[in-house]
Amino acid sequence: MATTDLKSDYLFEMMKLHLASDAGKYEGGKPDATFSFKDNDFVKVATGKMNTQMAFMRGAMKIKGSLSAAQKFTPDIFPKPAKM
């Protein structure tokens, strides 16, 4: 197994734990935008294997709410992986 696969698996496990704990629940009123993914598509976007714009165009990522707010914050949520 490649090192990147191990990092991706670890990242995915950490995200599942975070989401399962309800630690990131938003309590400040109505959010500007929400993102919806299937598990596999989320991992692809989070690990940089799928571009966020391409995910949206293919229907792999769905945005509910303000599209302009989602576009504004997408680079902060899903930063591009560093090239080494």
CA distance 36 to 61: 6
Q: Of all helices (H) and strands (E), which one includes residue 14?
A: helix 3-21
Task: State the Cα torsion 40-4-7-12 to the nearest 10°.
Answer: 0
21 pLDDT above the threshold of 80: no
- The answer to whether the CB of 63 falls within 8 A of the CB of 34 is yes
- The answer to whether the CB of 45 falls within 8 A of the CB of 61 is yes
The DSSP code for 66 is -
Q: Tell me, yes or no, if the pTM score tops 0.85.
A: no
**pLDDT, tens only, 32-77:** 888 888 989 988 888 888 888 889 999 999 999 998 988 887 777 7
78 pLDDT above the threshold of 80: no
CATH number for domain 32-79, candidates 3.30.1050.10, 3.40.50.970, 3.40.50.2020, 3.90.226.10: 3.30.1050.10
pLDDT of residue 59: 94
Q: Which residues are paired to 47 by β-bridges?
A: none
pLDDT of residue 14: 73
